[in-house]
Structure 1
Amino acid sequence: MRFYSQSFLYDDPWSIVSYAFFMRYPNPFASHVLSCDVVSRNISPTGTLVTTRLILKSGAMPRWAPKGMVSRAESWVIEESEVDPVGRVVRCTTKNLDHVKVMRVEERVILEQTSDDKTLQNTEARIVSGFGWGLTKRIESHGLARFKANIQRSRQGLFTILELIRQSRAQTMTMGVPSLYTPSQRFASGSSASQTASEASGSSDNEQKPRGTWLNPKSWL
């Protein structure tokens, strides 16, 4: 088994990085991702948003791999996430469903808000092969090297999405709501999201309240 761990600090607030994390596909640095579909999504009894997504990825076998090691170069990956908007934490676990005897990769990502309103990402991964035939260690080492390379490309892709969000926020309309209301605003304790947006825009109860992505937690992703 091979283990990998890395931490990275984003200057952007948690709400923006979390949104970009779930909107990261497609991007120019993830051409290997062929599809991404939501299987289920619900609000837990504790108020967290729980989502399961199914992702199809393509890959290439190393030249030294025996012919017929895997039947195809594509693999289904299941992603299970939980968003805690109160505690400002995202927990996400992914693992491949195909070729698990050759190599199983389990990745865990935690995004949490720091005291200075930045976002800390902690990533852990375990690579395990049960192939045998004297190739177990070589397969695991290859998987670890690929994971290290892919995590850098993944971060570049996330930076691309973050930049698009920044550009959107700089325009008159931000994420579908007036620019006075941004995703980084925190909801006041004991008040609803619509009340917070109304106060930020200075509108009265009789005026139509703005509606947008971040006013409805169910539409965040």
Structure 2
Amino acid sequence: MRFFTQSFLYDDPWPIVSLAYFLRYPNPYAGHILSCDVVSREFTSTGTLLTTRLILKRGSLPRWARQMINRSESWVIEESEVDPLGKVVRCSTRNLDHVKIVRVQETQTFRQMTDGKTLQTTEANIVSRFGWGLTGQIENHSIARFKRNIQRSREGISVILDLIRQARLEPMGLAGAAYLRPDSAVRYATPTRSFDEDPELREAPRFSWPENRP
């Protein structure tokens, strides 16, 4: 087993960083993402928003792994919880196939700090049960790739943050992100569009609390 943890502090407030995280696909640093679809979404009795998304990724395989894996695509499930009152996002992802070769469990947490900035904490557990003397090699390769991808993921989020800043969008609740498709970030976050000028934006669903919220 290999374990990885890292923290990063964004200067932007929590609503903006969290919105950028959920709208991170597509971006120039995520060409390996083939699709991202919402499977389910619901409010809890305490007012948090639960979302499950299914993501299809494509990755390059090292030469020694091509005899074990006959395709480079992998399905990943993402389960998130948004707490707008506590200003915390918790998101967990794990691969659904190739799990005997390697299982990657990743957790992302976004939390608002007292100074208005946003702290991102990344944790990952990587386990291989392949055996045949290759377990260590597979885990070492996977953790090295994960570390490289963390930087690219952060750069992708920064692209979306820049688009939001350029558009001068006001901070919005995370449920607002729930009504935007991942490919809407680039289309909506442009300086020339506004709610007053764009009928499609004016008619977009807005955030509302569930009736059974305490």
Q: TM-score, normalised by structure 2?
A: 0.81
Alignment pair present for 1:73 and 2:64: no
Judged with a 3 Å threshold, the aligned counterparts in structure 2 of structure 1 residues 96 and 129 are, in CA distance, closer, same or farther, namely: same
Instruction: Find the counterpart in structure 2 of residue 127 from structure 1.
Output: 126
CA distance, structure 2, for counterparts of residue 215 and residue 23 of structure 1: 17
Residues 28-43 of structure 1 aligned to structure 2 (within 5 Å): 28-43=28-43
The structure that has the greater radius of gyration is 1
Alignment pair present for 1:139 and 2:127: no
Q: CA deviation at 1:127?
A: 0.5
Give the share of equivalent positions with the same residue, in percent: 65
Q: CA deviation at 1:65?
A: 2.4
Alignment pair present for 1:59 and 2:50: no
Q: CA deviation at 1:168?
A: 0.6
Instruction: Find the counterpart in structure 2 of residue 216 from structure 1.
Output: 207
CA distance, structure 1, for counterparts of residue 63 and residue 74 of structure 2: 19
Contact in 2 for aligned 1:18/1:90 (Cα 8 Å): yes
Residues 168-207 of structure 1 aligned to structure 2 (within 5 Å): 168-169=167-168, 174=169, 182-183=170-171
* 3-state SS of 1:64 partner: helix
* 3-state SS of 2:65 partner: coil
The aligned amino acid for 2:82 is V
Deviation readout 1:8-54 (Å, 9 max, x if unpaired): 00000000000000000000000000000000000011100000000
The aligned amino acid for 2:207 is N
Judged with a 3 Å threshold, the aligned counterparts in structure 2 of structure 1 residues 214 and 89 are, in CA distance, closer, same or farther, namely: farther
Structure with larger RCO (C-alpha < 8 A, sep 6+): 2
Q: TM-score, normalised by structure 1?
A: 0.79
How many equivalent residue pairs? 182
| Superposition RMSD in Å | 1.9
Q: List 4+ stretches of structure 1 deviating above 6 A.
A: none
CA distance, structure 2, for counterparts of residue 16 and residue 25 of structure 1: 15
CA distance, structure 1, for counterparts of residue 78 and residue 11 of structure 2: 25
The aligned amino acid for 1:153 is R
CA distance, structure 2, for counterparts of residue 97 and residue 217 of structure 1: 33
The aligned amino acid for 2:35 is S
CA distance, structure 2, for counterparts of residue 66 and residue 84 of structure 1: 42
CA distance, structure 1, for counterparts of residue 122 and residue 66 of structure 2: 31
Residues 98-177 of structure 1 aligned to structure 2 (within 5 Å): 98-169=97-168, 174=169
Judged with a 3 Å threshold, the aligned counterparts in structure 2 of structure 1 residues 117 and 142 are, in CA distance, closer, same or farther, namely: same
Judged with a 3 Å threshold, the aligned counterparts in structure 2 of structure 1 residues 214 and 109 are, in CA distance, closer, same or farther, namely: farther
